[in-house]
Amino acid sequence: MRTHSAALTGVAVASILALTACSGGGESVDLDGTTDSSSESSSEGASGATVIAAIAGEPDQLDPNNTSAYFSFQVLENVFDNLVEPDENLEMQPALAESWELSDDQLTWTFHLREGVTWHDGTDFTAGDVAYTYNRIMDEELANAWRFSAVESVEAPDDSTVVITVTQPSPNLLSSIGGFKGLGIVQEANVTSGEIQTAPIGTGPFSVTEYVSGDHISLAANEDYWGGEPEVAGVEFRFISEPSTALAALQNGEIDWTDNIPPQQVADLEGDDALVLGVEPSNDYWYFALNQDVEPFDDVRVRQAIAYAVDREAIVQAVSYGTAKENQLAIPQTSAWYTAYDEYNYDLERAQELLDEAGVSDLEIDFMATSDYPESSTAAQVLASSLEDLGITVTIRTPDFATWLDEQGSGNWDALMLGWLGNIDPDDFYYAQHHSEGGSNFQGYSNPDVDALLDSGRVETDEAARAEIYAEAATMIADDASYIYLYNPAIIQAWSPDLEGYVARSDAAIRFHDVSLAD
């Protein structure tokens, strides 16, 4: 929620974070006067057809540095570029930076930019834009400022060179600046005018041409894109909040792509020749957290008791019909950074012992889910049923996500559920959420030993040693029940067989640059 990684994608959610879409028409903003809002699926454009994609919600805004909404990033993935970017294997590759080198003392990163890159308005992209973007994020303490915690300065000594100086070796720097579109490079004039929130100007393969609030956003192919002009004329993102409606639209040929699919229908769709189904294990995770600033959740025995009362199998079945993967730590089994851990298997007897040791009975829990992520309220109901057997009463609240965020920040909750998405480096999975000074440590967790491990993991350049550090930290975090991890969801997308070249990715990035639409 993904708050990222936004918990939710990062997505945080990251925390990843989004507002539910409204369907139906809204006020149209034709940004360059070229878009035909009545376009139909696969309509012919200047150099091909237009891809019609259905997403489940509407972006809250289109400034990549200022939003944490997954629905925003679904669109912005195709509009903005980062200095570097992950390939399908999540290995960092050149993007706006063609190459880079690291000084012998590992404190100076020098990036060499591509020549001839232009913004969507035709002006030249320069190193000054990169320095402006990163300094803006740090100076204004925007949502992703924490990713620059080790950065001392960002300078542009000439138009094609960016120099990032760090205060300590930072093996995760490339992942930090490239693994998340929230670090996309923005144009200063577009920011200062305020137009970036609805009419962004990027350097990516598509430019925004029309935004109809409550209905759709249209993108046009960037014929001057440094990576080559897209084969399709554009992409129209339609906001369809109801999964069955989005799936029916795909099956009827009204749209070409969607990730809004009823999970209970995934098994049946596997043999449907009318569409292509992409199911990939994701790097996202969902968790359950207890507010450690509130009694009795400041007692680790109470948190552990509740951890033993979590029936992950029932939750996974209820929210995903078995497509998600149970997990007791954040990092999924498909990652090289995975650590095995299975302490908290469903055990109500052990849970009751811990509650008795803590002297807690007749406990009442205010559980905050959100109406914008229905799976959080579904999981909350399963949790409430399990906890009833321990004499715990759970009251479930489901505010809209904007209210949910305010409540999370104010500490007005006993328990909540959310997810993080788009994580790549182990630092993404743990530091902001569990370090005492972490920017998303809303649950109030503090363990000096974990802090020391997370600090050392950030500067350790030996990969094997780094893996050991994060394995130890993750295990301690789980033992302390800072988060009670639930599952890693699957990436589930479907598209028309006529849409060729599309790849479902484990980081949930939706990229249409390399696709084509058959006639």
Interaxial angle between packed helices 426-434 and 448-459, expressed in degrees from 0 to 180 and rounded to the nearest 10: 150
pTM value surpassing 0.85: no
Compute the distance between CA of residue 496 and CA of residue 253 in angstroms, rounded to an integer. Answer: 8
The pLDDT mean for the chain works out to 88
Compute the distance between CA of residue 207 and CA of residue 218 in angstroms, rounded to an integer. Answer: 8
pLDDT value of residue 336: 87
Place 134 in a pLDDT band, splitting at 50, 70 and 90.
very high
Q: What is the dihedral of CA 217, 25, 502, 234, to 10 degrees?
A: -50
Instruction: Tell me the Ramachandran region of residue 448: left when phi exceeds 0, alpha when psi lies from -120 to 50, beta otherwise.
Output: alpha
Compute the distance between CA of residue 434 and CA of residue 450 in angstroms, rounded to an integer. Answer: 8
Between the alpha carbon of residue 399 and those of residues 75, 246, 484, the distances in Å are 25, 25, 22
Asked whether 393 and 363 are in contact (CB, 8 A), the reply is: yes
For residue range 22-36, list pLDDT tens digits in order: 233 334 444 443 434
For residue range 462-506, list pLDDT tens digits in order: 999 999 999 999 999 999 999 999 999 999 999 999 999 999 998
Which stretches of 246-316 are assigned E, i.e. beta strand?
257-258, 276-281, 285-290
Which stretches of 204-323 are assigned E, i.e. beta strand?
206-212, 216-221, 234-239, 257-258, 276-281, 285-290
For residue range 56-90, list pLDDT tens digits in order: 888 988 999 998 778 899 999 999 999 999 998 88
CATH (one of 3.30.1330.10, 3.40.109.10, 3.90.76.10, 3.30.360.10) for 80-192:
3.90.76.10
Q: Which residues, at least 6 apart from 51, have a Cβ–Cβ distance to it below 8 Å?
A: 42, 232, 234, 235, 236, 256, 257, 499, 512, 515, 517
- Identify the residue with better confidence: 15 or 128: 128
**Looking at residues 374-403, what average pLDDT do you find?**
90
Between the alpha carbon of residue 29 and those of residues 34, 189, 202, 204, the distances in Å are 11, 20, 18, 20
CATH (one of 3.40.30.10, 3.40.50.150, 3.10.105.10, 2.60.40.350) for 285-488:
3.10.105.10
- Supply the DSSP symbol for 10: B
Q: Where are the domains of the chain?
A: 80-192, 206-280+491-517, 285-488
Compute the distance between CA of residue 71 and CA of residue 218 in angstroms, rounded to an integer. Answer: 14
For residue range 242-284, list pLDDT tens digits in order: 999 999 999 999 999 999 998 888 988 988 888 999 998 888 8
Q: Which residues, at least 6 apart from 317, have a Cβ–Cβ distance to it below 8 Å?
A: none
Burial of 410 (0-12, 13-18, 19+ CB in 10 A): exposed
- Supply the DSSP symbol for 21: -
- Identify the residue with better confidence: 117 or 418: 117
For residue range 433-464, list pLDDT tens digits in order: 999 988 889 999 999 999 999 999 999 989 99
Asked whether 296 and 363 are in contact (CB, 8 A), the reply is: yes
Reported as half-sphere exposure (CB side, CA atoms, 13 A), residue 143 has a value of 26
Compute the distance between CA of residue 482 and CA of residue 475 in angstroms, rounded to an integer. Answer: 11
Compute the distance between CA of residue 111 and CA of residue 164 in angstroms, rounded to an integer. Answer: 8
Closest CA to 206 of 31, 421, 378: 31
206-280+491-517 homologous superfamily: Periplasmic binding protein-like II (3.40.190.10)
Which stretches of 377-436 are assigned E, i.e. beta strand?
393-397, 415-420
Asked whether 8 and 421 are in contact (CB, 8 A), the reply is: yes
Place 42 in a pLDDT band, splitting at 50, 70 and 90.
very low
Helix, strand, or coil here: 58?
A: strand
Tokens of 418: 């959310």
Q: How many CB atoms lie within 10 A of CB 385?
A: 12
Percentage of the chain lying above the pLDDT 70 cut: 91
Place 47 in a pLDDT band, splitting at 50, 70 and 90.
low
